[in-house]
Structure 1
Amino acid sequence: MMKYTLNIINKILILSFFIVVSYSCSSSDDSVIIDKTTAKELLNVSYGNETKQVFDVYLPANRDESTTKTFVLVHGGSWVSGDKNDLNDIVAKLKETYPNYAIVNVNYRLAGIGKSPFPMQIDDLESVFTKLKTKANEYQISSNFGFIGISAGAHLSMLYSYKYDTDKNVKMVCSIVGPTNFTDVNYTENPDYLEISQGIQLVTGVNYETNPTYYKNISPYHVVTSSAPPSILFYGGMDNLVPTTQGVEMQAKLDELGVTNQFKLYENEGHGWEGDALNDTYTKLENFINTHF
């Protein structure tokens, strides 16, 4: 888990002038039957036609289609940057702690000026799940998935889980510094977050004042229902990108709806942390997974 110190507007402007470099793909042949008794890593498996529509999948030994659960990791980067490789440390930690779980580390199409993240990136997550369910017999994994998302990836994980997971395959979602409510007064009125608000409006192409409903519809806080999966939230008290109200009010909403949840605010941390705080996050997440996923 690394610190994200992104300047959203600069990122958006830079990314609008550069073309994403193509990846080499090393996905498995669909005709190959994978030995379920041994662990297997499949890198850059394609789930769409564009270069960013790939994921890495880590399959444990002795897996079973009826019982093997899968973590789905979604990287951050303000919807306009970032890469699945940013989460390789978390992949390693999960492999060590949960050797019987599969792990899928996702890339998704990046947004830019004239290329809104919504619904594009939600569509990508839907395509990921469609691919995984199609490959369930080959991979020998069940349809039980747990999200772990960072920053923008946490926002996407919550939004998908709370609004778009019609089959209820997501059994747990973890948000680490994920935005939850774009109608929060800190985004709409607080000058400390004005640059963030302007960046979000720039990349979506939608003005908040003329279309606040749009921002409600992409806010996990506004779309969550009582059927949401167990959710664990981690936030920093000194975050200059995501106000603490995003976590505090999200927890209150989950409590109001009776959704199982846990919330931790690290008062002296920003948009990501290391050391003792990171170890505490891993411990709390592990306990939550053991209980709820």
Structure 2
Amino acid sequence: MKRVICIILITVIQSSFAQSNYTKDTSYTIASSFRKDKLKFPYIQIAKVKKDKRVIVENEIVYKEINSRRLHLDAFYKKSKQQHPAVVLVHGGGWKSGDKSQMGSIASAMAAKGYSCFAIEYRLSPEAIYPAAVQDIKEAIQYIRKNAKQYNVDTSRVAILGCSSGGQLAALIGTTNSTPSSTVQAIIDIDGILAFKHPESEEGKAASLWLGGEYETLPEIWKEASALTHVNEKTPPTLYINSDMPRFHAGRDDMIAKLNQHAIYNELKTIPNAPHSFWFYDSWFNTTVDYSIQFLKKVFNK
């Protein structure tokens, strides 16, 4: 317990200083993933989304301020008298890299289909360790709900979608619904782990950096940060879209078993013979978007 308190205190101290001078990690980008993945999948191309003129895009909206540090989100939505389901999008990058622009293509494509979409910036491990990112994303959801009218959001239908470490975060946000203002009604986890300490998990340095230490030192934190720990009868319907690499869905089958015990609707879609970051590429981008929309139509009765 003392270690848990220590981790939380460290996070608070980091937040109070709002480390604007931290070194940003740029190791995970669409371009770097493409260069690496093209070696094994030479036919792939980065997905290009045709712009829909009806979709309004507002970039760099400040949703949270921590002293001199501002956190932003990008909004993609259609002006309409009708309220639309919202989708909060969380980028990947091993909790230490990546940025919200990586979710722009999915947000654009889903907004064109009638969803109000929000790509979220959140603090990464070089700036602030767990649970800072969780707090940031929950506050982004609160901001979206507070400003629902402006973005034509139906607050009874809010989904969270994340890719890779963003998928892990999306599942954790959805399974820790406790405050109505940050509650979500659906989870879409795209190749994100559900448990940090698991036979299928290969998380090491990146997880340790984000969680503030290795499992042997902080087992309570590693468990607390795992969505699998929190699944109960109130967990929302969940869609898993996975590559066929077991390390990226550690704990998934255990979570599905728990969801089934509580009669909670869930779907599993597997993308075979694909790289981990498959959603970036033409070969699988549309499939990822289609699976997501089909799932949301079912659970939101849209």
Range class of TM-score, shorter chain: 0.7 to 0.9
| Contact 1:115–1:204 under 8 Å retained in 2 | no
Separation in 2 of the partners of 1:278 and 1:237?
A: 16
| Contact 2:91–2:100 under 8 Å retained in 1 | yes
Q: Which residue, out of 55, 64, 71, partners 1:48? A: 64
Matched letter for residue 274 of structure 2: E
- Confirm whether residue 148 of structure 1 aligns to residue 148 of structure 2: no
- Confirm whether residue 280 of structure 1 aligns to residue 287 of structure 2: yes
Matched letter for residue 83 of structure 1: D
TM-score (structure 1 length as normaliser): 0.75
> Which structure has the highest strand share of the two?
2
Give the corresponding residue for 2:108: 92
Separation in 2 of the partners of 1:278 and 1:92?
A: 12
By how many angstroms is 1:139 displaced?
3.6
Q: Which runs of 5+ in 2 are unaligned?
A: 1-20, 27-53
Q: Which residue, out of 57, 62, 83, partners 2:99? A: 83
Give the corresponding residue for 1:181: 195
Q: Deviations over 1:58-91 (max 9, x none)?
A: 2312144xx3321111111111111111112112
Matched letter for residue 270 of structure 2: L
Question: Cα 1:108–1:69, aligned 2, differ >3 Å: closer, same or farther?
Answer: same
| Contact 1:234–1:247 under 8 Å retained in 2 | no
Give the corresponding residue for 1:231: 238
Please list, as runs of the form range in 1=range in 2, the aligned pairs for 1:100-249 lying within 5 A after superposition. Answer: 101-112=115-126, 115-116=128-129, 118-143=130-155, 144-167=157-180, 169-187=183-201, 193=202, 196-238=203-245, 242-249=247-254
Q: Deviations over 1:184-240 (max 9, x none)?
A: 0233xxxxx3xx32331133222312332221111011111111111100111236x
Separation in 2 of the partners of 1:47 and 1:256?
A: 37
TM-score (structure 2 length as normaliser): 0.73
Separation in 1 of the partners of 2:105 and 2:263?
A: 33
Matched letter for residue 230 of structure 2: V
Question: Cα 1:82–1:52, aligned 2, differ >3 Å: closer, same or farther?
Answer: farther
By how many angstroms is 1:56 displaced?
1.0
| Contact 1:75–1:106 under 8 Å retained in 2 | yes
Give the corresponding residue for 2:77: 59
Separation in 2 of the partners of 1:158 and 1:52?
A: 25
Separation in 2 of the partners of 1:17 and 1:126?
A: 23
Q: Which residue, out of 59, 64, 88, partners 1:72? A: 88
Q: Deviations over 1:156-191 (max 9, x none)?
A: 11111111443274121100001110120233xxxx
Separation in 1 of the partners of 2:250 and 2:168?
A: 14
Instruction: Name the SS for the 1:170 alignment partner.
Output: coil
Question: Cα 1:56–1:91, aligned 2, differ >3 Å: closer, same or farther?
Answer: same
Separation in 1 of the partners of 2:225 and 2:106?
A: 27
Instruction: Name the SS for the 1:79 alignment partner.
Output: coil
- Confirm whether residue 253 of structure 1 aligns to residue 258 of structure 2: yes
Separation in 2 of the partners of 1:279 and 1:132?
A: 26
Separation in 2 of the partners of 1:52 and 1:269?
A: 36
% same residue? 23
Equivalent pairs, count? 247
CA RMSD of aligned residues (A): 2.6
Give the corresponding residue for 1:35: none
| Contact 2:116–2:152 under 8 Å retained in 1 | no
